Amino acid sequence: MNQQNNHMRPVMFVGTGSDVGKSIIATAFCRILKQDGFSPAPFKAQNMALNSYATPEGFEIGRAQAVQAEAAGIPCHTDMNPLLLKPQSDHTSQVILNGKSIGNQHAYDYFRREGRETLRTAVYQAFDRLSSRYQPIVMEGAGSISEINLKQTDLANMSMAKYAQARVILVGDIDRGGVFASLYGSIMLLDEDERRLVKGIIINKFRGDLRLFEEGKKMIEELCCVPVLGVIPYYRNISIDEEDSVSISLKSRYAEKGKINIAVILLNHLSNFTDFNALEQDKRVHLFYTNNVEDIRQADIIILPGSKSTLSDLTEIRKNGVANAILQARRCGASVLGICGGYQMMGQEVRDPHHEEGECESLPGLGLLPVVTTITALKTTRQRRFRLIMPDAPQPSGSELYGYEIHQGQTVPKGGVPESPLAQFSDGTTDGYFADNRCMGSYLHGILDNKAFIDFLLRPYLQQNGEAHQQMDFHAFKEQQYDLLADHVRKSVDMKRFYQILHTHD
């Protein structure tokens, strides 16, 4: 049923800590609200993540908000995540404001009160613009709502909820233990006016028989004086893009017999790991993340992924033996693909004359491709339509292929070496370098979401691992996963009470 004319308050999912499932639950409600006839849009005032995405206008936002927009059935926009922090090191981050970099800042300087109101005004303005176009806004907090030492400079949690007059729902992770203490403590550490904004609790990642937790729900409601809207069971068979790389460490790092084994190099500053989600769903493939040299030697295909700090990660893989393992595997017939920062590392040299990444001005690359990269201050962020143009490239019928660029740097053939691009964009310009069908690089994130390119990458191994199969439509697969997630959450939450909360005006 369509309920567009009913005014609804924004809803904000906050957490007892990081990785409790706020992002996934917000994604689920973006899809639920869309299914129920509303026009929801996601919003996170401030995000810290290496996983980012390019909007249709060519700006940068956190990947989680792009996923939530996709679940809501709308194009992503910078107003959904006006402030993005991309860690450069343990102490510094690149600050992205309204989709564009405004430079690097040390954490101490960023979290000082001086200049904070400028950022606060910017995120409030973004929220206002978004809420004038969509209803309701599905907001997401950051980390824990109870970091009282950061309250005065908070932009993403309760101060944002107050400004938006949002209905706040606190999410706790029962799987990690201590859910009673974390929920109660989170609420008790809030100021009284903040506590009044908390209208519900969702307990996430429950394992076992839900009937055994009925008494626990009542105890939480009595302690916190807030209703428990639902207890959401742990799930394993729904595939949704993750916000950060925490889950990577839980994935297998070992080769499997009977599969095409693909090793993604586990870099310290790995970014945009969602590039590999489609490959993970391919039944011909076993994909794993590793920096173990023995695992790398067993791989059929090695992928050097994107990196937020190319020179730092290049230095590290030389120190830990990963670089030598990649070169040895290549000599033994393995395929090597570099994406973005990984493409830069595969070249002859990476230069940083303006010290964008640090003090080092130049490092030799792995020498797998005859290209040289210069790190630039200007960041390229744009969505791309393209076609593959390397020799023997598949020419799929229908629309062009799709990807997006987010990088700082220009990569060109070394002097005297002819160009050998991998792809041509719809504007006639080109991307990447193709050495042969087992060695290539590209700046295109999302290139592996395209069946034509996956089939090309796997082609040398298909005879020994079985015939090619009809690969899924990855877009249709993601839509199905959003629906599965929505169903999973909907049946675990008191939806009648949820809608009552959003329609109240106290």
pLDDT digits (tens, 9 = 90+) for 212-269: 899 999 999 999 999 999 999 999 889 888 765 545 655 556 667 889 999 999 999 9
| Residues of the chain above pLDDT 70, percent | 91
Q: What is the pLDDT of residues 99-136, one digit of tens each?
A: 998 888 876 667 676 668 889 999 999 999 999 999 99
Of the listed ranges 21-30, 64-73, 143-152, 235-244, the one predicted with least confidence: 235-244
Domains for the chain: give ranges and CATH numbers: 11-239+480-500 (3.40.50.300), 259-464 (3.40.50.880)
- Per the rule left: phi > 0, alpha: psi between -120 and 50, beta: everything else, 308 is alpha
pLDDT of 399 higher than 70: no
pLDDT of 404 higher than 90: yes
Q: What is the pLDDT of residues 359-376, one digit of tens each?
A: 899 999 999 999 999 999
CA distance 400 to 387: 6
> What pLDDT, on the 0 to 100 scale, is given for residue 106?
74
DSSP for 167-235, please give it.
EEEEEEESTTS-HHHHHHHHHHTS-HHHHTTEEEEEEEEE-S-GGGGHHHHHHHHHHHSS-EEEEEEP-
Q: What is the pLDDT of residues 336-363, one digit of tens each?
A: 999 999 999 999 999 999 998 888 999 9
CB atoms within 10 A of CB 334: 23
* Global pTM value: 0.84
- Region 8-33: what's the mean pLDDT? 96
> What pLDDT, on the 0 to 100 scale, is given for residue 300?
96
CA distance 212 to 255: 40
CA distance 331 to 333: 6
Residue 40 DSSP SS3: coil
- Per the rule left: phi > 0, alpha: psi between -120 and 50, beta: everything else, 446 is left
> What pLDDT, on the 0 to 100 scale, is given for residue 16?
96
CA distance 35 to 6: 16
> What pLDDT, on the 0 to 100 scale, is given for residue 1?
33
pLDDT of 506 higher than 80: no
Catalytic hit among 76, 340, 354, 407: 340
Catalytic site includes residue 225: no
> What pLDDT, on the 0 to 100 scale, is given for residue 66?
96
pLDDT of 505 higher than 90: no
Residue predicted with more confidence, 147 or 105? 147
- Region 272-286: what's the mean pLDDT? 90
Of the listed ranges 111-115, 148-152, 500-504, the one predicted with least confidence: 111-115
Of the listed ranges 384-388, 396-400, 423-427, 445-449, the one predicted with least confidence: 396-400
> What pLDDT, on the 0 to 100 scale, is given for residue 247?
56
pLDDT of 163 higher than 80: yes
CA distance 388 to 424: 6
| Residues of the chain above pLDDT 90, percent | 72
Indicate the helix (H) or strand (E) that contains 120: helix 116-131
Catalytic hit among 106, 445, 475, 503: 445
pLDDT of 98 higher than 70: yes
> What pLDDT, on the 0 to 100 scale, is given for residue 488?
97
Q: What is the largest CA-CA distance in the chain?
A: 75
Q: What is the pLDDT of residues 41-88, one digit of tens each?
A: 999 999 988 889 999 999 999 999 999 999 999 999 999 999 999 887
Residue 387 DSSP SS3: strand
Q: Indicate the angle between helix axes 22-35 and 63-72, nearest 10 degrees.
A: 20
Residue 200 burial (C-beta neighbours within 10 Å; 0-12, 13-18, 19+): buried
> What pLDDT, on the 0 to 100 scale, is given for residue 463?
67
Q: What is the average pLDDT value for the chain, to the nearest integer?
A: 90
Catalytic site includes residue 340: yes
Does residue 307 contact residue 343 with C-beta atoms inside 8 Å?
no
pLDDT band at 2 (very low <50, low <70, confident <90, very high): very low
> What pLDDT, on the 0 to 100 scale, is given for residue 393?
77
Does residue 237 contact residue 264 with C-beta atoms inside 8 Å?
no
Residue 127 burial (C-beta neighbours within 10 Å; 0-12, 13-18, 19+): buried
